[in-house]
Amino acid sequence: MKLNKIPVWNGLINYDYTYIAYLIMEYSENYTPFQKWFAVYDIKKRRKLLDKDFPNGHWRLKRNMEQNNFLYAKEEKYVVLEFDSTKITRKYDNEYPILSKKKVTYFSYLEDVLSYVEKKGLRLNSFLPPYVEGYPLNIRTWKEK
């Protein structure tokens, strides 16, 4: 299957998508709804988007480095995030998902990312575009404690 024929992957590889996401499953623990997510980020594109218009030393650049530290940790091309999150229901304006069971994996080549996705048993054409409704990292930052 050619990736250029799958719109979401084509957007990540050839256009301005900075990441794509995959909702693996939804489940419940102690009456709390959770979601298991898998996301592939193009590190350079994402950093360029976050850091544009901010010179070195600017407070927003420092904040981006702190809140999205997976983008600044290693000099690789791609990063895969695997995490569980409380489900966003949007009942309240200030509802933020809680992230847990985080795993970060870095890759230099797209082929390595694809083989990793394949090992996980995920379907390439089921990935979602950036800013899809319900993706936790659209409103929550990835902040290591």
Residue 144 covered by a domain = no
pLDDT at residue 44, as a whole number: 92
Is residue 145 included in any domain, yes or no? Answer: no
| pTM greater than the 0.95 cutoff | no
Give the count of domains, the chain: 1
pLDDT for residue 129: 92
Range of the domain at 126: 3-138
DSSP H or E run through 65: helix 59-67
Is 101 within a domain?
Answer: yes
Q: Residue 51: what pLDDT?
A: 83
145 residues of the chain, pLDDT tens digit each: 577 788 899 999 888 899 999 999 999 988 888 999 999 999 999 988 888 878 777 888 888 888 888 888 888 999 999 999 887 666 655 667 888 888 999 999 999 999 999 999 999 999 999 988 888 887 667 765 4
pLDDT of residue 134: 80
Return the DSSP state at 1. -
Residue 95 neighbours by CB distance under 10 Å = 11
Helix/strand number for the chain, H first, E second: 4, 4
- 98 assigned to some structural domain: yes
According to DSSP, residue 93 is labeled: T
DSSP state of 128: B
pLDDT in tens, 113-144: 999 999 999 999 999 999 888 888 876 677 65
Does 87 fall in a domain? yes
